[in-house]
Amino acid sequence: MKYAVITGTSKGLGASIAVLLLKQGVHVIGVSRNKDKKLEKVAQENNVTYQHYTCDLANVEKMDKIFSIIASQFIRKKISMIYLIHNAGTVNPINTAENYIPEAITSHVHVNLIAPMIASSLFLNVAKTSNTPLINVFVTSGAANRSVYGWSAYSATKAGINRYAKTIALEQDMLETNSKVMIFDPSIMDTEMQTEIRSSSKEAFQDVEQFQQYKQENKLRSTNTVAKVLIDILLAPERIENGGYYSVKDIL
């Protein structure tokens, strides 16, 4: 029995990853503030389960409690593989740093950096105790490796998650556990995040016209295309390089 715990399953890339894994016979647990009702139907059609936990990942106390409940289920069950996919993310606030307000910075860092760190810590512990293979997937962005005017928070949290992922990969290697870590860069996709980006003002985000052009010129990939790339990697776990950086741009 394989399980995937995916954050941000209500829409975008997370919803597509959930559908494709359910179709491959993987039980899925989704965590987001809203629920995509079609996922339960897809689960039923494929004789697997979809469980949803409604949670704001910016709320550390609540997310810690929910992930503790989810992780504790795995101690009692006989599981052959757990995938923990840190997909939920926000690009907001989009603005130059002097215009950031503390609440927006705090919420951003909680969703993009602190929640994945807490969730992976809990799961690494459970995987070690129960000797269950675990694959932690951190969804990143090209913005981690370059500075983008108006995206200082986003670049900082995505760069932070990359270094976090690489470091826990090193630790799991040295500890000789059954856990692997990978970083997944989906490149540009046609999602609500891109709609938000395109609606920014030029003062807040200098490259806004370029992103409007990506949409006009049909350069944004569909989330199903991108999710398929990830699923192909996940279904051959023995080939996954621990700490590896997998970019859709290099694969497609």
Ligand X SMILES: NC(=O)c1ccc[n+]([C@@H]2O[C@H](COP(=O)([O-])OP(=O)(O)OC[C@H]3O[C@@H](n4cnc5c(N)ncnc54)[C@H](OP(=O)(O)O)[C@@H]3O)[C@@H](O)[C@H]2O)c1
Taking the least distance from each CB to ligand X, the nearer of 53 and 132 is 53
180 with 174: CB under 8 angstroms? no
Q: Three-state DSSP class for 130? A: helix
The least distance separating ligand X from the CB of residue 100, rounded to whole angstroms, comes to 17
- Beta pairing class for 27-32 and 2-7: parallel
Taking the least distance from each CB to ligand X, the nearer of 79 and 226 is 226
Q: CA-CA distance, 132 to 116, in Å (whole number)?
A: 19
Catalytic site residue from 50, 53, 154, 164: 154
Q: CA-CA distance, 153 to 147, in Å (whole number)?
A: 10
The least distance separating ligand X from the CB of residue 191, rounded to whole angstroms, comes to 3
- For this structure, is 246 an active site residue? no
The least distance separating ligand X from the CB of residue 193, rounded to whole angstroms, comes to 4
Q: CA-CA distance, 135 to 21, in Å (whole number)?
A: 14
Taking the least distance from each CB to ligand X, the nearer of 79 and 189 is 189
Taking the least distance from each CB to ligand X, the nearer of 131 and 218 is 218
Residues that bind ligand X (CB under 6 A): 8-14, 32-34, 56-58, 87-90, 111, 139, 141, 186, 188-189, 191-194
Residue nearest to ligand X (CB): 12
The least distance separating ligand X from the CB of residue 69, rounded to whole angstroms, comes to 16
- Beta pairing class for 244-247 and 81-86: unpaired
Q: CA-CA distance, 39 to 50, in Å (whole number)?
A: 7
Give catalytic residues, as residue numbers.
154
